[in-house]
């Protein structure tokens, strides 16, 4: 199922609540279905849906970029690379 979160919001609905309700119905009834939430216009919509435990979402490039543009991310990645190199050298994860 692919609920379009922002489209639901644009029609004066609550896209995140709709996804939550669908997820609840799937779980309670043991339905063989999964949700692929779509149509996100901002990071908050995506984060709210991911907190529901949805298996997959689609993101436009600009929203994905916003998710990874926090000032703390680059230093964290650099520290991870440094720590990895210190522990494993140039090995890849599947080689360690």
Residue 73 pLDDT:
84
* 64 lies in some domain: no
Do 33 and 79 fall into the same domain?
no
**pLDDT tens digit string along 21-33?**
999 999 999 999 9
Range of the domain at 89: 70-96
Question: In degrees, to the nearest 5, what angle opens at C-alpha 52 toward C-alphas 50 and 57?
Answer: 35
Sign, Cα dihedral of 56, 59, 63, 64 = positive
Do 2 and 47 fall into the same domain?
yes
pLDDT at 68 over 70: yes
Number of structural domains found in the chain: 2
Chain mean pLDDT for the chain: 92
Residue 96 pLDDT:
62
- Beta strand segments in 18-68, E: 36-37, 56-57
Do 24 and 1 fall into the same domain?
yes
Tokens 């779509």, located at residue: 38
Do 50 and 93 fall into the same domain?
no
Do 76 and 51 fall into the same domain?
no
Do 38 and 1 fall into the same domain?
yes
pTM of the model: 0.71
């Amino acid at each position: 199922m692919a609920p379009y979160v922002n489209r639901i919001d644009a029609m004066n609905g609550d896209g995140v609540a709709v996804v939550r309700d669908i997820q609840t119905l799937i779980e309670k009834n043991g339905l063989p279905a999964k949700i692929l939430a779509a149509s996100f216009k901002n990071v908050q919509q995506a984060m709210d849906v991911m907190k529901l435990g949805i298996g997959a979402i689609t993101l436009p490039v600009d929203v994905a970029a916003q998710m990874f543009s926090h000032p703390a991310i680059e230093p964290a990645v650099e520290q991870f690379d440094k720590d990895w190199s210190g522990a494993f050298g140039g090995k890849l994860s599947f080689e360690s």
